[in-house]
Amino acid sequence: MSDQVILTKEGRKKLETELKRLKYEERPRIVAEIKRTREMGDLSENAEYHAAKEAQEHLERRIGDLEFKLAKAQTVDVDDLPTDKAYLLCKVLVKDLEDGEEIEYTLAPPDETDVDNDVISVQSPIGKALLGKAEGEIVEIEVPAGIIKYEVKNISR
């Protein structure tokens, strides 16, 4: 699998903003906290010092992850993508064939998902199943709760 990361312009900006905040706000704050707790004396029994060092490790890991993603990122323009089938960044209106409920999913890169707003990863079971489908197609999707059947009703941007 490729380590390329697909992002929208908004997704790239969000990651860049988070990276800047972590490097220029959080990192200095944690360094100051480590310095402050180091001055408290015996480091072997200094829980605050060890907590600050652990927070620093998590922060540096996240910074490295963001830098890696941004270095590998390809930014796509939503307006340039076709709507004949369900592709990345499409809105796909589906009808649940069991209960008749309609749901509109947005197929997003993994780093831009927002499940609470039905923005799902193209790597999720539903996202994978919908990719490449056209309006009118029936899709059977295996999810943890069982099998769901959707009819693709509409594809848009």
151 lies in the same domain as 82: yes
- Other CB atoms within 10 Å distance of the CB of residue 50: 13
Per-residue pLDDT reduced to its tens digit, 108-119? 888 788 888 889
pLDDT at 3 over 70: no
**Residue that terminates a domain, selected from 54, 76, 98:** 76
pTM here is: 0.61
For 43, the domain range is 5-76
111 lies in the same domain as 91: yes
Q: Write out the H or E segment, with its range, that includes residue 74.
A: strand 73-76
Distance of alpha carbon 64 from alpha carbon 45, whole angstroms:
30
